[in-house]
A = this chain, B = another copy of it.
Amino acid sequence: MSALAASWAPLSPAERAVAIEVLMHGPLSRGEIAKRLDLSAGSLTRLTKPLIESGLLVEEAWPNASRPARTGGQGRPSQPLDIVAESRYFAGFKITGDAVYGVVTTLKSEVVAQRTRPLGTHDPEEIADLLDAFVQDFSRDFPRLAGIGVGVGGHVRGRSTVVDSAFLDWDDVPFAELLERRTGLPVVVENDVVALTEAETWFGAGRGLDRFVVLTIGAGIGYGLVIGGTLVRGAEDGHGLGKRWIIDPNGPLTPDGERGSAVALLSIPSIRYQVQAALGREIDYPGILALAASGDPVTGRVIDEAARGLGILVAQIANFAMPQKILLAGEGVGLVDVAGETIQRTIAAHRHPLADPIDLETKVSDFNDWARGAAVLAIQVLVLGKTDG
């Protein structure tokens, strides 16, 4: 069984399309898949056979005794196919400057285990050792680990090499190779925002949407644009777009980012920097939000400015990309709870009153969600052979 599952043949383009369709849109009968992919019924018999034999798909089994209420029609009942979520497990990691976050997910991207460890070093070899230890650990519970995805803040080339990463101080580190040598498993390395956006597009808030934007607020500002269901790749991925994204030329100046940039206004370190400079003492981000919510004027001013900046950013994105949905994610979205009204008011001021309202979703995400995003990348690349990017 494990040996059989291990020998998944590389999928043909048509098989891949079938697998993705089932993975993204739940159980589907052959006929339904045929309609969606514009193929003949005969082709679907042909395409699904090897996928079922290899264990990637199963015919959905009804409870032996009674079937679910028929949908009314007569005729032979359709036979929905579904992904065997547990046929393979994937490890996903998010590496920050301070810690490593690891998760194990099924093929359907459900997290079944997670673990965190602080990082005492930025040395690639040592971090690879640490991740290897994670993987060995995970392997005990999930022997059928099929691949590893790694997300880092920074620019990644060829899904394998970290070209540069400010948080880690890396420069052209072939991290996929380092980790593959240790674990013997295939490794996919990608920019963290790219990974999170892909994950949300396939399994999260952006599922099935044609146009979709992910905006992350955390140590930096991340931006992922999906058009036609596909992530738009650009040279700017992981290049600190947010540092250059000037929202207000007269805005605050902070150590990170240009004056008035998205990073300077919105990122957690910049907000802490501003508040701490004003208060004259150390305070963490949740503390700042609590202070602002309780009416503290100094903190409130900083948060208010951040909220206005976010409103402008969202309005600009909405104006240019016209996404069906904008997802705010990252560790800094608590801002929305505290200053949601200011954000909405600012958005309204920069949009036509008759323009379509923006579907703005906020997802309180932690670093494990980033790790899950990396695991989704591994699923895409390793199981389905998705190659672009």
Cβ contact of A227, chosen from B232, B236, B244, B319, cutoff 8 A: B232
Looking across the interface, which residue of chain B has its beta carbon closest to that of A323? B234
Contact with B along A255-291 (1 / 0, CB 8 A): 0001001000000000000000000000000000000
Q: Are B245 and A319 in contact (CB under 8 A)?
A: yes
Q: Does A355 belong to the interface (CB within 8 Å)?
A: yes
Q: Which residues of B contact A144 (CB under 8 A)?
A: none
Q: Does A351 belong to the interface (CB within 8 Å)?
A: yes
Q: Which residues of B contact A236 (CB under 8 A)?
A: 322
Expressed in whole angstroms, the Cα–Cα distance for A22 and B184 within the complex equals 46
Q: Are A351 and B244 in contact (CB under 8 A)?
A: yes
Expressed in whole angstroms, the Cα–Cα distance for A52 and B35 within the complex equals 36
Interface size on A, residues (CB 8 A): 30
Expressed in whole angstroms, the Cα–Cα distance for A354 and B246 within the complex equals 12
Give min CB distance, A60 to chain B, whole Å. 35
Q: Are B321 and A246 in contact (CB under 8 A)?
A: no
Interface residues of A in 241-257 (CB under 8 A from B): 241, 243-246, 249
A319-B244 in contact given A211-B234, A227-B232, A234-B211 (Cβ < 8 Å): yes
Q: Are A352 and B227 in contact (CB under 8 A)?
A: no
Contact with B along A214-256 (1 / 0, CB 8 A): 0000000000010110001011100001011110010000000
Q: Which residues of B contact A62 (CB under 8 A)?
A: none
Expressed in whole angstroms, the Cα–Cα distance for A354 and B322 within the complex equals 28
Q: Are B322 and A244 in contact (CB under 8 A)?
A: no
Q: Which residues of B contact A207 (CB under 8 A)?
A: none
Q: Which residues of B contact A315 (CB under 8 A)?
A: 246
Looking across the interface, which residue of chain B has its beta carbon closest to that of A354? B244
Give min CB distance, A347 to chain B, whole Å. 10
Looking across the interface, which residue of chain B has its beta carbon closest to that of A225? B320
Q: Which residues of B contact A354 (CB under 8 A)?
A: 244
Give min CB distance, A242 to chain B, whole Å. 10
Expressed in whole angstroms, the Cα–Cα distance for A246 and B232 within the complex equals 25
Q: Does A29 belong to the interface (CB within 8 Å)?
A: no
Cβ contact of A246, chosen from B225, B261, B352, cutoff 8 A: B352
Give min CB distance, A285 to chain B, whole Å. 25
Give the 9 A-B residue pairs with the shortest CB-CB distance, closest first.
A244-B352, A244-B355, A320-B320, A249-B349, A246-B350, A258-B352, A234-B322, A245-B319, A236-B322
Give 15 pairs: A residue, B residue, CB < 8 Å, sorted on A: A211-B234, A227-B232, A234-B322, A235-B322, A236-B322, A244-B319, A244-B351, A244-B355, A246-B349, A246-B350, A246-B351, A249-B349, A261-B352, A316-B316, A316-B319
**Known contacts A227-B227, A246-B319, A246-B350, then 15 further A-B pairs from the complex at CB < 8 Å, ordered by chain A residue:** A227-B232, A234-B322, A241-B319, A244-B319, A244-B351, A245-B352, A246-B315, A246-B351, A246-B352, A249-B350, A261-B352, A316-B316, A316-B320, A317-B320, A320-B321
